[in-house]
Structures are given as C-alpha cells and as structure tokens.
C-alpha cells in the first residue's frame, strides 16, 4: 500500500483556514483531518472529539512528556497540539492527512516531516484580516491587539512555506487548494458520476 501524504494548512488566525478545510472535506469526504488537542474551552457549536479534543493543562503536559504529539504550540494562552498516533496510522493506510495548525506548529512539522507539503493561507489585505477577526466578536480589545500583533508576525513567515494561497474569493481559494493537493482531477471524475 502506498504511504499517505501529510498536508499542513497554516496562516494567521482569522484567515479562513477552518472555512476552507470544511469546504474541502464536504467535496472530498475521503480526506483525513487530524483533530487537535487543546486546553481552551469549547466554543458554541464545537463538538468534543470532532472539533477538538479538549483537555486540561495537566493532560496536555503529559502528552508532551510521553512524546504523543507531532507538534504543539501555545497560542493566546492555550495549548494546541497534533496527536501523533492517528496521523501516523492514517499515513500508513495511504490517506491524505490534513493538519490545520498554527505557524509555530507548521515549522515543527517541517523539521519532523520534511516530506510534508506546507500551504500558507494568506488574507487578501491586512484590513480584511483585521475585519474578519473583529467580526468574530470573541475577544476583548487587549486580546484582539495580541491576535493582531501575532498575525503580523505570522504573515512575515509566508515565504517559508511551499505554497501560498490567498483567501480572497472562497471558490478560487478552494480550487487552488484542490490543485495543490492533487484533488482537482479526482473531483472532475467524481462530479461526472452524478
């Protein structure tokens, strides 16, 4: 059986990584998406075990100590990480595995999995990114300023990654991702079956 491929979607908070991934998964249900571990509280509508695996700080630290994470980072006061075992099992089964992670974690994946394909999702403009973050309405102004400062730093990292996709027009961005993931031909075949 062929070894699978590891794909990383990264970019600053608010750029639309989650929205793009949701649409990709709707069009390509065979994609394997890694569910991250986090110490943050669930947001409305998030499903434990499906959106994230919600744990406390002690459980997260134990996972780090046991080398159970492929990558991990602290972001906005919470820890996020990728459980190692499910990703390795999916790759061994020949799956296309997608991680939606922060830039710090993507850099760790680059070191640990040099064969991974890293895709940076960028906003069309800084103003658009700030507007998207503010429209969420989830942060105090001080937390928003921290997110914006971090986003500026992360945007500087874009050239480090294999591909940059600008999320301006949703359909165009999805199409670009499908092409980079090698899914475009498969989509045309699947659509012709209906």
What angle is formed at CA 170 by the lines to CA 16 and CA 4, rounded to 5 degrees?
70
Check pLDDT > 80 for residue 189. Answer: no
| Helix, strand, coil share of the chain (percent; to 5) | 45, 20, 30
Question: Which tens digit of pLDDT belongs to each residue from 134-181?
Answer: 887 777 888 888 888 999 999 999 999 999 999 999 999 999 999 989
Cα–Cα distance between 84 and 92 in angstroms, integer?
12
DSSP 112: H
Instruction: Note the Cα 125 to chain centre separation in Å.
Output: 20
Residue 37: which domain range? 5-192
Question: Which tens digit of pLDDT belongs to each residue from 115-133?
Answer: 999 999 999 999 999 998 8
**Could you tell me what percent of the chain has a pLDDT over 70?**
93
Cβ contact 43:190 at 8 Å: no
- Token pair of 70, please? 């492929």
Q: Give the total number of structural domains in the chain.
A: 1
Whichever domain contains 87, its CATH number is 3.40.50.300
């Amino acid at each position: 059986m062929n070894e699978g491929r590891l794909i990383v979607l990264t970019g600053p908070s608010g750029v639309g990584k989650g929205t793009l991934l949701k649409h990709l998964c709707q069009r390509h249900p065979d994609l394997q998406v890694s569910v991250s571990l986090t110490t943050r509280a669930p947001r409305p509508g998030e499903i434990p075990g499906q959106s994230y695996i919600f744990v406390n700080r002690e459980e997260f630290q134990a996972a780090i100590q046991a080398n159970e994470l492929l990558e991990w980072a602290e972001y906005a006061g919470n820890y996020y990480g990728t459980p190692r075992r499910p990703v390795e099992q999916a790759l061994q089964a020949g799956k296309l595995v997608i991680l939606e992670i922060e830039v710090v974690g993507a850099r760790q994946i680059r070191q640990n999995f040099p064969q991974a394909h890293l895709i940076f999702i960028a906003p069309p403009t800084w103003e658009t990114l700030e507007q998207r973050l503010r429209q969420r309405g989830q942060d105090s102004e001080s937390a928003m300023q921290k997110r914006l400062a971090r986003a500026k730093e992360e945007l500087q990292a874009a050239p480090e990654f294999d591909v940059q996709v600008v999320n301006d027009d949703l359909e165009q961005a999805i199409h670009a991702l499908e092409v980079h993931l090698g899914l475009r031909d498969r989509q045309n075949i699947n659509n012709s079956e209906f």
